[in-house]
Structure 1
Amino acid sequence: METSNIQTVVTNAQQLKQTQGGYNFTSGTTMTGTLIQQGGAPKAGWTIQGTASSGTGTMWNSYGGQVVMAPVASNGFNNGFSVTTQKVPQADCISIATQLGSGGAFSAISINSTDYSDGLVSAEDAGKACTADTGMTGNNTLVFTHNG
């Protein structure tokens, strides 16, 4: 479900560019809030905290980690964005990174600050970068960068 939810927010975030001529947001907080306000958050598995219609709501994944959409600048223009998801358990970290890191949909992927600048992540790579859980709590942060 996490993989499809990430794909959903990526697809819906692309609509923000069409309505603004770029991802013209001052921060991840405002981009995430606007995505939620426009109904772009997944309907199942993730939680919205705050008032969705306010433009200041926040998204939380099924593991209790925050999910943030943020504009990414290239040559002084916000022509891309990133999706950061936190508290991902090790097994799911490997699965999500491998699934989303095999199709070329992302220009870059980061697992716990280990960068894959080509956006491709093998199962071996993910197994090395994703860290063990602490009890029942995942410790992994994944960042998916999409240009365009």
Structure 2
Amino acid sequence: MRYLSLRSAAREHRGVLSLEMVVVLTVVALVGVGVFLNAGKLFGKNEVNAEMSNAQEISVNTRRLLKDNGLYTYNNATDMTGTLIKFDGAPGSMTVIGDKNSGSATLQNTWGGTVTVEPSTSGGGKTGFTITYSQVPMAACTTMGSKLSQSFGQTSINGSATVGIVNSATAATRCTADSGSTGTNTLRFTSLT
């Protein structure tokens, strides 16, 4: 008799466990759907943050590795970018196109556009440099243009230059819509030091 009562209790308990399991699986499924639906937004934000970090690292490494006696003695963007890559000044997360030891390799951003560093001339010669990002998507353009302008003397978005900080509203009006899945924006960040 005792055996039957234990067996009967076990069946009742299984029924409760099954109902609990259905609730748990439903919650897990809903969370999974939420993550799936928002994954694109999360990855987009990560790409922008990664490229802003890359631009800052390029800036620091350019000053540290390429400035001689207060000047950037390079002829053009190809020469300066290639030398930065050759001296291990390119961020590790960026794509290097070509042989990094050749002095003529190039950089590619997350969106497939080129990233260059070139000397810029001011009153005392080639005392500054400009980092150029191409094929930047519209959402990234607005964020990068406004946030990175705080670290550079001049910011140009699609040819419209601003000395000092670019506010978000101004960046949004200068950034253009994407062409399909390809960004159409060019950002130039100029450091005077």
TM-score range with shorter-chain normalisation? Answer: over 0.9
Distance 2:82 2:155 in 1: 23
Q: CA deviation at 1:75?
A: 2.4
Separation in 2, partners of 1:88, 1:21:
31
Higher percent of residues as strand: 1
Counterpart residue identity of residue 8, structure 1: E
Compute the displacement of 1:22 (Å).
1.1
3-state SS of 2:71 partner: coil
Name which of 94, 110, 113 aligns with 2:159.
113
* SS of corresponding position for 2:101: helix
2:125 is matched with 77
For the Cα contact (< 8 Å) 1:16–1:23, is it kept in 2?
A: no
Give the equivalent residue in structure 2 for 1:140: 185
Q: Give the alignment's TM-score, normalised by structure 2.
A: 0.72
Instruction: Give the match for residue 90 of structure 2.
Output: 41
| Structure 2: unaligned runs, 5 residues or longer | 1-49
Structure 1 runs of 4+ aligned residues shifted over 2 Å read 16-21
| Aligned 8 A contact 1:13 1:40 in 2 | yes
- 1:129 alignment partner, one of 174, 180, 191: 174
Q: Establish whether residue 12 from structure 1 lines up as the match of residue 61 from structure 2.
A: yes
Alpha-carbon deviations, 1:97-142, whole Å to 9, x = none?
A: 11112x3x211000000110x2311110011000000110000000
- Offset of 1:16 from its aligned partner? 3.2
Alignment map for 1:29-68 (pairs within 5 Å): 29-44=78-93, 46-68=94-116
Whole-angstrom distance in 1 between the partners of 2:89 and 2:112 = 19
Greater RCO (CA < 8 Å, at least 6 residues apart) = 1
2:137 equivalent in structure 1: 89
Identity rate of aligned residues, in percent?
40
What is the count of residue pairs matched by the alignment? 144
1:42 is displaced (CA, Å) by: 0.7
What value does the CA root-mean-square deviation take over the aligned residues? 1.2
2:152 alignment partner, SS class: coil
Decide whether aligned partners of structure 1 residues 27 and 84 sit closer, same or farther in structure 2, where only a CA change above 3 A counts: same
| Native 8 Å contact 1:34 1:55 kept in 2 | yes
Q: If the length of structure 1 is used for normalisation, what is the TM-score? A: 0.93
Higher helix share: 2
